[in-house]
Every structure is written in C-alpha cells, then in structure tokens.
A and B are shown apart, each in its own frame.
Chain A
Amino acid sequence: MIYAEILAGGKGTRMGNTEMPKQFLMLGKKPIFIHTVEQFLMNKRIDKIFICCPEQWVSYTKDTLRKYISDTAKVIVVKGGETRNDTILNGCRFIEENYGIQEDDIILTHDAVRPFLTQRIIDDNIDGALKYGAVDTVVEAFDTIVHSKDGQIITDIPVRSEMYQGQTPQSFNIKLLMSFFASLTEDEKSILTDACKALVIKGTDVHLVKGEVSNIKITTQYDLKVANGLVEENKS
C-alpha cells in the first residue's frame, strides 16, 4: 500500500497573530491544506491519505474537508504528535493498527503548507521509496550557504554545488522507518527532529528526489502573500 501523510501539526506561531494554524489560511478560494490534500487525491497510486493535525483541530479539519472535497473516502484525519517525528510515527501506528504493515508499504510525508507540489514529485517519491526505502525531496541551492556556529562569524562556506535545500515529501518504507524510530533513545529523538537526518546519521542511505523551486513552504505572511500572488483563478 502507498500512504500519504499530510503533516498539519503546525500551530502557526511564525505567522504573527493569526487566529488559526497556517495550514487553514486561505490560498485562493480554499484553505492551504485542501490544495495539498487534493494534489495527493489526484494521484492514482496513493491508497490512503492521512491528515495529522493538532488534537484540538481534528473536528475543524474534518468539517473543512467535507466542505471542500466531495469524495473523502480516501482521506482520514488523525491526531498529530508533539514533534514532527511523533506525528509521523502516529501516522505509521495508525496504519499498523488499522491495516497492518506489509514489507513494501511506503509512506510519503508532506508538509500541509506546501500546496504547490506536482504529480511528478509525488510519482518520483513513490518510485524512490519503493526502490531505495528512503528518499528526500530537494532542490539545488541557488544562494551560497553560509555556516556559522555562533551566528557572529563565518565558520565555513560549503561548496554550493554540493548543497541542496530540503523540501517535502520525505518518503519511507514504513517498516524501515518504524524499526528505526524504535531504535532511537529519547535523547536522540529530541535532537533528531528530521526523519531523513536521523536516518543519515544512523547510517541509512537516503536518496534524493528532484523537487521544484515553486514547491514553497508557506511559513510567514510574506510567503502567503507570494503564494496568493502566484495563484490565479480558474477561468476555463
């Protein structure tokens, strides 16, 4: 089975005084996360889509889904966790309890606030996760990356051609991911907040999938304004 897990756990703290988490803000005529869910709904290879959101927003998410999407049979809203990895793990546990996990089951984890992803990115993630077990979506770094340990002086300027910027989806073989999480200590879990980073540090190969510069993450009011500027109404 191929699952998609939309990570909608953000509480919107970086957006300023928004009244609700950023994934629920409007982009064009729909909330951001609806656009994201729809993109996964349009992929015939995805069997189920989980939306993981903060506990107090579960009912709201369900209501909003019903309002915008007529066929929600493939979409399930589940409670997110405290951290990003907890949320991913919650999704995996839900799958384990309700469907069981087979050797080649994979999960695509994706930020709810990246609604600009394409079918090509989804397909490449599916192919990559089935083949390699773990993939991360990236784009080449356009800007020079400057590394500073203290935020005052430059520690290092890495070779730009070897630098990439991480996006999502991050996609995994579910068995691999769950057994890996089980092997982490509590301390490691608190430090290794990114699943791909954790896998790499522990010696697992994570392959790259080409993202798109347009696959932006809507984190700030500026991002939202840019995103709304990019999207036009459907006239045809």
Chain B
Amino acid sequence: MINQVYRLIAPKQIREDFVDLKIDDESVIVRPTYLSICAADQRYYTGSRGRVVMKQKLPMALIHEAVGEVVYDPQGEYKVGTNVVMIPNTPIEEDEIIKDNYMRSSRFRASGFDGFMQNVVCMQRNLIIPFSVEPRVAVLLELTSVVMNAVENFEKMAHCRRNTIGIWGNGNLGFIVALTLRKKYPDSQIIVFGVEEHKMAYFSFVDNTYLIDDIPSDLRVDHAFECVGGRASGTAINQIIDYIQPQGTISLMGVSENNVPINTRMVLEKGLTLLGNSRSNYDDFKHSVQLMEMYDDVCEYLSTIISEEVVVQSIDDIHRAFDDDLNNDFKTIMKWEI
C-alpha cells in the first residue's frame, strides 16, 4: 500500500511523502492512535540540533513515543483493534553482555530512521507489546521504559542503602523517575530538586521538594538521578556531587548537546559512581506496561502531566502541536487522526 509518512524536511517544515509499504508475514501493521512529543523531537523540529546533524538526518519522520491499534496481522497473532505500544529501538544483532539499546548497531526511530508520524506503521512482530490501560496515558510508556531502564540499572549497580534518593529536575523525566522510584522503593525518602515551584507542586507523591537555591545545607542523599539535561546539566551534576553521600550512585539521564565540565576531583574523593542511561529495550517496555497495569494511581498521576492533547488531522495541526509544546509545562500529546 501507499503509506503517508510525515517528514521533517527543514526546521518547522513538514512534508507528506508516499512510501510503497512492503507488507510481509513477519510484520504487523499498526495505526498510531496517540503520539507524544519529546524534547529530542523538538530539537529537530526547531533546528537546534545544528546544521550538520540536520543535513545528515533529514528528511525524517519525527516522534518515537507512540501507541496504536493493530489493523492488520497476516499471521493472526494479534487481533485487529489490539492496543499496542511500539518500541522505537530496533536491534540489528544480539549480544550476551550489551543491552540492545546500547548496541551501536541498533537503529532508533526518529533518530536514524523514520519515526511514528505515519499513516500506518509496519512494525516487527517482536517490537510491539499489547496493553490494557488508557491509550492517551499509555503513550507515556516509552518515557516510562527509559526510566525503567535507568531504575533497573540503578538497582543492579547502586549499593543497598537507599534511605534517601534525590531527583534533580522537575520536568517529565523527573516526574516519571520520581513516580517509578516511589513504587519500587516505597520506604525510601524521595526528594525532588527543581527550579519551577509551580511544576514541583505536581509531585504530590514524593516526600519533599526543594528549589535548588534553597536546599538545607545539611541535607544529604544516598543516591541521585539527574533529569535536567541541556545547558543546566553541569550545574545539576555538580550540585548532586555536593549533596550526595560518599560511594553514592548518580544516574545520568538528561541529554546535553555540549560536553559538560564536572567536579571530578570530588567524584574521586567521594568514590562516586556515574551511571549513563539512554533509551530502552523490549523488557523495559514490558516492565513499564506491568507498572501501569499493576497500580491504578500510576496512570492517574501520569495523566496529570499531559498538558495538552492536540487532535491532528492535517500537517497544520502537527505544527500547532509542536508550537504549543514549547509553552507547555509538561507533555504535549497528539491524537492521531490524520
């Protein structure tokens, strides 16, 4: 069939392209229902990735956070209408040590190849997972899976004293990290450090929140998650280094376009572990689906960070969603009706 693919061709310019979609028995065809805009998409959309990267990657369909409905499965494994989450990381090979989201050969939607802004998406059978929660909340599964990857990595690597865990960042990522840690470690003190008081008010389930310029001097955390990214990465990481106990683990999650100078002297003196985290794989998605299905309040809390839902029936609507997203506190999702 002729599939419509909505590709970014230059900053703020989207074109409808037509692709002769090959439908084979190994694939499942999914019609996206909800898509969610990520900061990474926004960096491409506004052109802030820089000319060289833009030239390399475009034209490309954006969006790597999406859920949809199965519309066609030649093998009949999935019933038509089944709600599924689509996994953007596409492994090419397996390795017994390295997780596939870290394999350099893996391809990633809306980074190395077309994302989910398509009429229908041809998915590998092993890259979709059915779910039973509300699709408009389930669209946050990808971000949750990225958090799951980091939390499970933390679980394996960090020492077992987890009395106090600090989260730097009051955005979407910080929110989902805080919520996931709340469920994984109900007895730990979860503290969020941020810069926007009105956004921190959403974190009702944590034990405490602090503005970063108003942290009690004697406060210490056993471990920390950095969910800031961008130009403030350095400030956040260095503040974590100041407030973390010796031999704590800092889980790095925020993406920065530039190299970040950090206080390595104190990293050495305190014997800290810095854990890099990026993306997620099938198991992380599976565990995220379980998290959402197991706790009713997880979906309830997650729905509070959907700042805006834009019904998309045209390319103009896509532009509106991306433009609005720049001013929204939390997530902008697109109800995909194009």
Q: Could you tell me which A residues sit within 8 Å of B by CB distance?
A: 27-30, 34-35, 38-39, 41-44, 69-71, 115-116, 118-120, 123, 214, 230-236
Contacts and interface: CB of A to CB of B under 8 A. Distances in A.
A230 B1 contact: no
Contacts of B114: 236
A232 B71 contact: no
Contact of B72 (A41, A115, A118, A230): A41
B188 interface: no
9 contacts: A27-B2, A35-B20, A43-B71, A71-B72, A115-B2, A119-B120, A214-B4, A214-B16, A236-B114
B337 A120 contact: yes
Given A44-B71, A70-B74, A115-B1, 20 more contacts: A27-B2, A28-B2, A29-B20, A35-B1, A35-B2, A38-B1, A39-B1, A41-B72, A42-B72, A115-B2, A118-B338, A119-B120, A120-B313, A120-B338, A123-B337, A214-B4, A214-B16, A232-B19, A233-B19, A233-B20
B71 A42 contact: yes
A97 B19 CA distance: 38
Contact of A118 (B21, B119, B122): B119
A41 B338 CA distance: 17
Contacts of A123: 337
A120 B71 CA distance: 14
Q: Which 7 A-B pairs have the closest CB atoms?
A: A38-B1, A28-B20, A42-B71, A70-B74, A44-B80, A230-B18, A231-B18
Contacts, number: 76
Interface residues of B, number: 30
Interface in B47-85: 69, 71-72, 74, 76, 80-81
Nearest to B24: A70
B93 interface: no
B22 interface: yes
Contact of B119 (A27, A28, A119): A119
